[in-house]
Amino acid sequence: MDETAANHVPARRGPAGAGNRHKLPPRAGRFAPGAGLCLAGCLVAVLVGCQPTVEQNALAGKPAAGGRVRVLATTGMIADVARIVGGEDVEVVALMGPGVDPHLYQPVARDQARLSAAQLVLYNGLHLEGKMGDLFESLAKSRRVVAVSRDISQDRLLKWADSAGMHDPHIWFDVKLWQEVVRTITGALAELDPTHVVAYEKRARDYLAELDRLDAYCHKRAGELEPAQRVLITSHDAFHYFGRAYGFEVVGIQGISTDSEAGLKAVTDAVDLIQARRVRAIFPESSVSRAAIERVALDSGAVLGPELYSDALGSPDSSAGNYVGMIKTNIDQIVDALRRQP
Ligand SMILES: [Zn+2]
């Protein structure tokens, strides 16, 4: 079984050695590791129990008003695709709002009703939602649960450097890879609601064309930098797909999960790289603690650039309130900051 299908396997908590590091402190939208364990376990028990029964299957959601399919997506990026492809035929709820870190998220009490109501649960997979694996496994006994990364071929995925057999979950930063996710979500909606398949496929074609234009825009903007200027240093390892797609060397101060703090060596290595390559700016992220990246900026003299949107969309009224806006905002901020003259 591949890791996408086996996302119920409890995720490892980040790069090797992370166990020696302190956990990130809780803050708005972030849940302390361990704090929700009991709650998550209770939700699993309440929603589906250990074995599926007739009663538990009856817990699967019913359509919303007008026969619309009730969809629950974990991240805002996934919810955005479901809303665009589903249009008027779906009702989509995102479990995690702006600024929420999916690596650490555990369901809270108010999530119970939303999870119970969903007919289709969409999650990223590849262990992005590292603390929700058991819940997805249990939910799958009573409703459709789809890892939206499941159809991406393994040779297009990046390895998670310190974890044998696992892959980098931050697939939304390569627009071409995210198009695969659009196709998977379209297929899942069509399967659940075949009467609207023509509408789903029409909206998907239009959105895929928009994403082709977005991908071209990213290449154009990246091309405004000399290759030597394309060094992207951020809070955690979210941007390797971005780097591969658009030609940036990428360094995350923390590991690939946020469930660890940056070690001293990671900080000194980043400072050395900034000084050797004369990197002008480094970037904090919207869903990750700023402490480590601020320390690197202080020690290296690099400018602390604007906050990038990494694992969550911006607020709905911001330029990064949807997926296309998030990607555009990031590439604009990266290119503008790295090419700015001192
Ligand atoms: Zn991440």
Residue range 288-322, pLDDT digits in tens = 888 889 999 999 999 999 999 999 999 999 999 99
CATH number at residue 315: 3.40.50.1980
Q: Indicate if 40 and 174 belong to the same structural domain.
A: yes
Mean per-residue pLDDT for 94-116? 90
Distance 326 CA to ligand 1 centre (A): 15
pTM for this predicted structure: 0.83
Count of structural domains within the chain: 2
Going from the Cα of 286 to the center of ligand 1, the distance in angstroms, rounded, reads: 11
283 alpha carbon to ligand 1 midpoint, in Å?
A: 14
What pLDDT, in 10s, does the model give residues 170-180? 999 999 999 99
**What pLDDT is stored for residue 273 in this prediction?**
93
Residue 268: pLDDT above 60?
Answer: yes
* CA gap 49, 44 in Å, rounded: 6
CA of 255 to the centre of ligand 1 (A): 9
Same domain, 95 and 41: yes
Average pLDDT over residues 8-14: 30
CA of 247 to the centre of ligand 1 (A): 20
Reply yes or no on whether the pLDDT at 228 is more than 50. yes
Are 128 and 101 in contact, with CB atoms under 8 Å apart?
A: no
Q: What is the pLDDT of residue 186?
A: 98
The verdict on residue 301 lying in a domain is: yes
Give me ligand 1 centre to Cα 118, in Å: 25
Predicted local distance difference test score (pLDDT) of residue 43: 56
Q: What is the pLDDT of residue 341?
A: 61
Instruction: Please give the Cα distance from 332 to 335 (Å, whole number).
Output: 5
Identify the pLDDT of residue 99: 87
In a domain, 12, yes or no: no
pLDDT over threshold 80, residue 168:
yes
Span 16-26, mean pLDDT? Answer: 28
Mean pLDDT of 48-65: 55
Which residue among 216, 238, 265 closes a domain? 216
How high is the pLDDT of residue 178?
A: 98
Q: Ligand 1 centroid vs 253 CA: distance in angstroms?
A: 12
Predicted pLDDT of residue 196: 98
**Portion of the chain with pLDDT greater than 70, in percent:** 79
Q: From ligand 1's centre to the CA of 8, what distance in Å?
A: 18
pLDDT of residue 340: 66
Both 195 and 234 in one domain: the answer is no
Q: Which has more pLDDT, 205 or 135? A: 205
- Ligand 1 midpoint to CA 229 (Å): 24
Query: How far from 36 is each of 75, 104, 132, 260, CA to CA, in Å?
Result: 18, 10, 10, 18
- The answer to whether residues 170 and 52 belong to one domain is yes
Longest CA span, the chain:
67
**What's the chain's average pLDDT?**
83
323/179 same-domain check:
no
Domain that holds residue 320: 218-339
Calculate the dihedral angle through the C-alpha atoms of 328, 321, 292, 261, rounding to the nearest 10 degrees.
-120
Last residue of a domain, one of 216, 237, 253: 216
Tell me the CA–centroid distance for residue 216 and ligand 1, in Å: 24
Identify the pLDDT of residue 287.
78
pLDDT for position 200 = 98
Residue 282 lies in a domain: yes
Average pLDDT over residues 135-155: 94
pLDDT of residue 211: 98
Measured in Å, residue 169 CA sits from the centre of ligand 1 at 7
CA of 237 to the centre of ligand 1 (A): 6
122 and 227, same domain (yes or no): no
Q: Are residues 190 and 304 in the same domain?
A: no
The pLDDT > 90 percentage for the chain reads 63
Measured in whole angstroms, how far is the alpha carbon of residue 186 from the centre of its chain?
19
State whether 77 and 96 are in the same domain: yes
167 and 259 co-located in one domain: no
Residue at 8 is within a domain? no
| 172 shares a domain with 233 | no
More reliable by pLDDT, 259 or 279: 279
Average pLDDT rounded to a whole number, residues 129-150: 93
State in Å: Cα 279 to ligand 1 middle.
23
Residue 264 neighbours by CB under 8 Å, 6+ apart: none
Q: What share of the chain is helix, strand, coil (3-state, %, to 5)?
A: 45, 10, 45
Whether residue 40 sits in one domain with residue 170 = yes
Picking from 156, 181, 216, the residue at the C-terminal end of a domain is 216
- Given the structure tokens 């825009």, which residue do they identify? 217
CA of 61 to the centre of ligand 1 (A): 30
Tokens of 174: 């390569």
Q: Pick the range with the lowest mean pLDDT from 4-8, 61-65, 91-95, 227-231.
A: 4-8
